[in-house]
């Protein structure tokens, strides 16, 4: 008499990790990824990115998690904070640029320091390129003569 052997219990990784294994009489089958995982038997099953999942929380403490229409998860800084969502810094004038430059400044312009910290200038215009935004540059065109004169 032959008895069935449960490959799902007795073989480590009979199916790709985190996928469903179904024992059958004399054999076994591999099914879909388990709930909360995406992928397939050949590519592997990986944790589904989710704002609710504790194992996947890439957002800054001052950011919130956003699920895009295509299922991607992104982070956005909360109101009063600016940055790329993974790193957020205080944004006093709420124009989307932080009061101080953030470590992500090489990759995202919204991590660069606001060139006019207390005046909203979401365009960061700086006609004379001296690093002081037009909105608070006493000599916006850099010709040596103050705006008021
Ligand atoms: Ca700002
Ligand atoms: Ca500003
Ligand atoms: Ca300037
Ligand atoms: Ca001037």
Per-residue pLDDT at 47: 81
Residue 136 CA, ligand 2 centroid: distance in Å: 9
Ligand nearest to the CA of 93: 1
Ligand nearest to the CA of 133: 3
Query: Averaged over 48-65, what is the pLDDT?
Result: 76
Ion ligand 2, residue ranges at CB < 5 A: 93, 95, 114, 116, 121
Per-position b or e across 81-99, b if 16+ CB within 10 A of its CB: bbbbbbbbbebebebbbbe
Q: Which of 85, 79, 117 is nearest to 98 (CA)?
A: 117
The answer on pLDDT for 68 being more than 90 is no
**Three state DSSP letters for 74-102:** EEEECCCEEECCCCEEECCCCCCCCCCCC
Residue 91 CA, ligand 1 centroid: distance in Å: 4
131 Rama sector, left if φ>0, alpha if ψ -120 to 50, beta otherwise = left
Q: Indicate if the alpha-carbon torsion angle 67, 69, 71, 76 is positive or negative.
A: negative
Residues 6 or more apart whose CB falls under 8 angstroms from that of 31 comprise: 15, 19, 20, 21, 22
Per-residue pLDDT at 17: 94
Task: Fold for 49-137, please state it.
Answer: Laminin (2.10.25)
Do 7-47 and 49-137 show the same overall fold? yes
pTM (2 decimals)? Answer: 0.66
Predicted confidence (pLDDT) per residue in 72-98, tens digit: 788 999 999 999 999 999 999 999 999
Query: Averaged over 60-73, what is the pLDDT?
Result: 85
Angle (CA) 110-111-112 rounded to 5° is 90
Residue 143 CA, ligand 3 centroid: distance in Å: 11
Predicted confidence (pLDDT) per residue in 31-42, tens digit: 999 988 889 999
Predicted confidence (pLDDT) per residue in 8-28, tens digit: 999 888 999 999 999 999 999
Predicted confidence (pLDDT) per residue in 130-146, tens digit: 999 999 999 999 999 99
Task: Decide which of 2.10.25, 3.90.1570, 2.60.40, 1.10.10 is the CATH code for 7-47.
Answer: 2.10.25
The answer on pLDDT for 62 being more than 90 is yes
Confidence of residue 58 (pLDDT cuts 50, 70, 90): confident
Ligand nearest to the CA of 146: 4
**Least trusted range by pLDDT, from 15-19, 50-54, 64-68:** 50-54
Ligand nearest to the CA of 132: 3
What is the domain partition of the chain in residue ranges?
7-47, 49-137
d(CA 5, CA 72): 41
Per-residue pLDDT at 55: 57
Residue 128 CA, ligand 4 centroid: distance in Å: 9
Residue 95 CA, ligand 1 centroid: distance in Å: 5
């Amino acid at each position: 008499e032959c008895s069935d052997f449960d490959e799902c219990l007795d073989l480590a990784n009979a199916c790709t990790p985190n996928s469903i294994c179904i024992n059958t009489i004399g054999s076994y089958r591999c099914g879909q990824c388990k709930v909360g995982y995406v992928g397939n038997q050949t590519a592997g099953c990986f944790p589904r990115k989710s704002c609710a999942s504790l194992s996947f929380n890439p957002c800054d403490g001052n950011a919130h998690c956003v699920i895009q229409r295509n299922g991607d998860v992104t982070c956005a800084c909360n109101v009063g904070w600016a940055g790329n969502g993974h790193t957020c810094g205080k944004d006093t004038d709420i124009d989307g640029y932080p009061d101080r430059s953030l470590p992500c400044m090489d990759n995202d312009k919204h991590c660069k320091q606001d060139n006019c910290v207390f005046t909203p200038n979401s365009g960061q215009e700086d006609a004379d390129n001296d690093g002081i935004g037009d909105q608070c540059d006493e000599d916006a065109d850099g010709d040596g003569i103050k705006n008021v004169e």
